[in-house]
Structure formats: structure tokens, C-alpha cells
Amino acid sequence: MGEQVREEIDRSTQNRVPHAPLPLRASAPLLTDHTAARSSFSIVAGIPVANLSEDEAVEVIDNLVAEGGTHYGAVVNAAKLVAADRDEKLKRVLLDADLITADGMSVVWASRLLGHGLKERVTGIELFQRLVERAANARRSVFFLGAREESVRGVVELFARKYPALQIAGYHDGYFEDSEWRSVCEKIRLSGAQLLFVAMGSPKQEHWIASNVALTGASFALGVGGSFDHLSGLARRAPRWMQQSGLEWLHRLALEPRRLWRRYLIGNSAFIWLVFRDRLLGRGPDQQN
């Protein structure tokens, strides 16, 4: 960990307000440019989800970083797919991603129902940790952007302890104003980070990444939702049995019912409808790669 980062860990938090999503990256490449990066995928609610194991996903991202240029990935759950179905901009951001994996078990189940089942779920939080581990081994530098100051600092401290060789280029909380976004991009660019992890919630993080990844100079950016809060211990993850049986959402709903009831109860029903619509319209296996 660099001296500058250590100094920043000690610096106190400033109160900041969230900023609105930014306009999309004009030069974003089309989905078809990236199909080579995926051995196969399953289209769920119009979004191609990569049929990769966690190991394979790490490998694909490794290759993207080695290839140079700027790339980004996203993970999707039922709520995000429903949101993308209703929001063209979000859909575009997902279609422009280099890699999308299934964060939620419901996405895996839907892929199976549609006749082209994904081999496994590759969650944002697991992929994130695997990529940090790989970065430590491959001497690639990482930047953490998002969440509250204490949360992102907790993640930096955790990984610095776990992987002494990890090159942590820097970090920044996820609560900054519109007027600050350029300086945040500049901070990341000057840090020289190759991998950028963004934990600002959805769809904000997806929009932010698509709009700014090129400005940050990072080779690969991934939106990791509430991962910083979970890993720093500020939020509890569901017990393993709930994660494995696709009930993680229920755990989150129980913890934050006011904020999440709409997302899960209405979102899950809407997702079931979307999947059945695709099945009825035959938008299943014949669209798969």
C-alpha cells in the first residue's frame, strides 16, 4: 500500500451528497465487439449473461486487462434486469459491457427455464475478491471507489492485511457532488490503477462506470454494489444456506424493508413476468450463442 493511501486512511471523512447519473460514454463499443470475450452466454430479459464459472470469469477479465484499452463488467440480479427492461440507458450500459455475470440465483434459474442454463452464479462480491487476489499475485494495482468513507477504508485495510503485496493505488468514498466527478476521475487516473472497483449501488455505479471508465484510465472496472459494506463488516451478508438457495434477497429485505420492499416484491414479480414473456415469445434458446 502506498504512503499516500496510508495517509488518506487516517484523514477524516467529509460529508458529501450523492451526484446524479452522468451521460453515457459516447464511444461505448457495441455488444458484438465483445462476443469473442465470451465463450457462450444466455440471454435473460434481453441481456447476454456470460456462461462462465467464477474461474473462467477471472480468466476472461485477466485477458481483457492484458489486452489493454478500457473495459468494464457488470453483475445482474432480477431487480437490475427489470430496471434495464424499463430504462433504455441502463440497458445500453449493460449491452456495452464486456462481461456480465449472474449475481442472483433467479437469473440462473431463468436461464435454465429459457433453455440455455448458465453453469453457475458468479456474484459481484465473490468475483471482486477473486480479482483482488489475482491482482495481488499479478502485481496489478487496484482502486476502490464507493460507499461511505469508513466502509471503503475498511476494505482497503482488509485487503492490505490479507495481501501484503497488493498494490493499492488509492480509494475514494462514493458520496461526491457533480462538481467533483472530474477530480475523482483524475485521482484514479493519476493513481495509475489498472483495476477499478465501484460500489455505489445500482444503477448509479453502472452509469458512472460506463461514462467514466475511459477517463480513469483503468483497464477494467466492475460495479460491486454493497460489497464494500459487507467486507468491511458494516453490513451482514445472508447466511450461506440462504445464499445458496437463492434467498439472499429475503435476508436483505428483512434488514432494510422500507428501502427494499419495492425492489424485491414488485421487482421479483416483474422479473417472473419478463422471463415468461421471453419464453412465450420464444426468445430463449434460439437467441443464444
Interface residues with ligand UDP (CB under 6 A)? 18, 146-148, 151, 174-175, 199-202, 204, 225-226, 228-229
DSSP, collapsed to helix, strand or coil, labels residue 44 as strand
Report the residue number, 200 or 210, with the smaller CB distance to ligand UDP. 200
Contacts of residue 121, defined as CB under 8 A and 6 or more positions apart, other chains included, come to 101, 102, 103, 104, 105, 107, 108
Report the residue number, 20 or 26, with the smaller CB distance to ligand UDP. 20
Closest among 220, 164, 216, 212 to 191, alpha carbons compared: 216
CB 157 → ligand UDP: shortest distance, Å? 16
CB 272 → ligand UDP: shortest distance, Å? 19
CB 27 → ligand UDP: shortest distance, Å? 25
Q: Which uninterrupted H or E stretch holds 277?
A: helix 267-280
CB 234 → ligand UDP: shortest distance, Å? 8
Residue 102 · residue 111 · CB < 8 Å: yes
Cα separation values, 151 from 176, 232, 233, Å: 15, 6, 8
Strand partners, 100: 74
Closest among 116, 164, 174 to 136, alpha carbons compared: 164
Report the residue number, 89 or 148, with the smaller CB distance to ligand UDP. 148
Report the residue number, 146 or 267, with the smaller CB distance to ligand UDP. 146
CB 199 → ligand UDP: shortest distance, Å? 5
Report the residue number, 200 or 275, with the smaller CB distance to ligand UDP. 200
